[in-house]
Amino acid sequence: MLPAAVLEQVQKEFLNWQDTNSSVIEVSHRGENFIAMAHEAEKDLRELLKIPDNYKVLFLQGGARAQFATIPLNILGKSQSASYIITGHWANCASDEAKKYCSIEYIDVRSDLDEKSAIKPIDKLNISEHSAYVHFCPNETVDGIEINEVPKTNLPIVADLSSTILSRPINISQYGLIYAGAQKNIGPAGMTIVIVREDLLGRANDLLPSVFNYQIQADKDSMYNTPPTFSWYVSGLVFKWLKKNGGLANIYKENRLKAKILYDFIDKSDLYFNNIHKNNRSIMNVTFNLYKPSLIKTFLEEAKRAGLYGLKGHSVVGGLRASIYNAMPLAGVEALLKFMCEFERKF
Ligand code: PMP
């Protein structure tokens, strides 16, 4: 979801943006209105995330999956290996792509994951000093797993924050590089945000396409090529919405409450269950299953009839999933809860 207030503003000014008699998707990205808007979006994002001055913020294309490949090509430098902490589906995908460019040290923190067990403590791992960086995914969107610690290492930490960015305050200076596809808490699909510490720039592989070269994009204010203008514009409005609504501290409070309501209910239920340890349950993606799996189809059909969409779990893990990103109001979670309660009573 995107915030209704943002969508309404987009609708209101879609045909005539800032009195230009043009839509925001028609004006030049090099015109003064667009440049001013783009700078303001970056300023607001920096303010929300408290991004230190020695980090560049890039607004790129290709989604998070493009970053899976372009991160090693940008920052490996002379090194030939990187460490990947395997927390779930997306960490697997990221390492699969990176292994085309370097050797991978896999650090499996889930190998002995059994019912109700936690992820191994991520801040106590033994990470090879020969790696160029260590990659991890603090919120595994598909698995519904969240990791609240950051690895302890002298290596640059690279984090895929696609499904958790802006859901809570974070300490940017713990990371060398953060990246996130826009389409969850940031704005519409089509844009990827990369926040990169300056010392990691300027070491790209010669074969890396220039549009993905962090140094080139940083030098050109992310306008080496035509940027995803609509996504950038709507994201800027989302940043303003977040600032107006108490910033990340407040949205974190709301997000925790929304997730707690669901998990508390699931834990008490005789029909629904979630096997992830309480310390590692995602507050963005609440995955759950039914003790009677044959009822999943009926659950989804009835949910749709009740106006509740997108509850099917990812095909990799099956089951059910409620993705409750920033813009999902508490009322949406309460509606789901009411439905789940009624469904359990009925079946
Ligand atoms: N990483 C994570 C954590 C994700 O949730 C997703 C998408 N759901 C991706 C990577 C892939 O993103 P994209 O489709 O933008 O390439």
The model's pLDDT over 13-66, given as tens digits with 9 standing for 90+, comes to 999 999 999 999 999 999 999 999 999 999 999 999 999 999 999 999 999 999
Given a contact cutoff of 8 angstroms between Cβ atoms, the answer to whether 37 and 25 are in contact is: no
Residue 220 neighbours by CB under 8 Å, 6+ apart: none
Which ligand 1 atom minimizes the distance to the CA of 161? Answer: 3
Give the CA dihedral 195, 200, 205, 207, nearest 10 degrees.
Answer: 20
What's the CA-to-centroid distance between 335 and ligand 1, angstroms? 27
90 is catalytic: yes
Atom 10 of ligand 1: nearest residue by CA position: 64
* Both structure tokens of 131: 């790696």
* pTM exceeding 0.95: yes
Atom 15 of ligand 1: nearest residue by CA position: 63
Q: Kindly name the residue from 17, 44, 184, 232 that is annotated as catalytic.
A: 184
* Model pLDDT for residues 205-243, shown as the tens digit of each residue: 999 999 999 999 999 999 999 999 999 999 999 999 999
241 is catalytic: no
What's the CA-to-centroid distance between 228 and ligand 1, angstroms? 17
Ligand 1 cavity residues, CB under 6 Å: 63-65, 90, 137, 141, 160, 162-163, 181
What's the CA-to-centroid distance between 102 and ligand 1, angstroms? 21
Say which DSSP state 312 is in: B
What's the CA-to-centroid distance between 94 and ligand 1, angstroms? 10
Q: Give the model's pLDDT for residue 192.
A: 98
Q: Kindly name the residue from 17, 44, 143, 160 that is annotated as catalytic.
A: 160
Helix (H, G, I), strand (E, B) or coil at 33: helix
What's the CA-to-centroid distance between 314 and ligand 1, angstroms? 12
Share of the chain above pLDDT 70, in %: 98
**CA 2 to chain CA mean position, Å:** 14
Mutate to test the pocket of ligand 1, among 162, 184, 185 (most ligand atoms within 8 A of CB): 162
Q: Give the model's pLDDT for residue 124.
A: 86
Atom 14 of ligand 1: nearest residue by CA position: 63
What's the CA-to-centroid distance between 162 and ligand 1, angstroms? 6
Provide the mean pLDDT of the chain: 96
- In whole angstroms, give the CA distance from residue 31 to residue 305: 46
Mutate to test the pocket of ligand 1, among 87, 141, 282 (most ligand atoms within 8 A of CB): 141
Atom 8 of ligand 1: nearest residue by CA position: 141
96 is catalytic: no
Atom 2 of ligand 1: nearest residue by CA position: 162
Q: 210-228 burial, b for 16+ CB within 10 Å, e for fewer?
A: eebbbbbbbeebbebbebb
Q: Is the pLDDT of residue 112 over 80?
A: no
* Model pLDDT for residues 117-140, shown as the tens digit of each residue: 678 888 889 999 999 999 999 999
* Both structure tokens of 168: 């809570």
* Model pLDDT for residues 258-299, shown as the tens digit of each residue: 999 999 999 999 999 998 999 999 999 999 999 999 999 999
- In whole angstroms, give the CA distance from residue 104 to residue 81: 6
What's the CA-to-centroid distance between 63 and ligand 1, angstroms? 7
Atom 9 of ligand 1: nearest residue by CA position: 64
Q: Kindly name the residue from 90, 232, 240, 258 that is annotated as catalytic.
A: 90
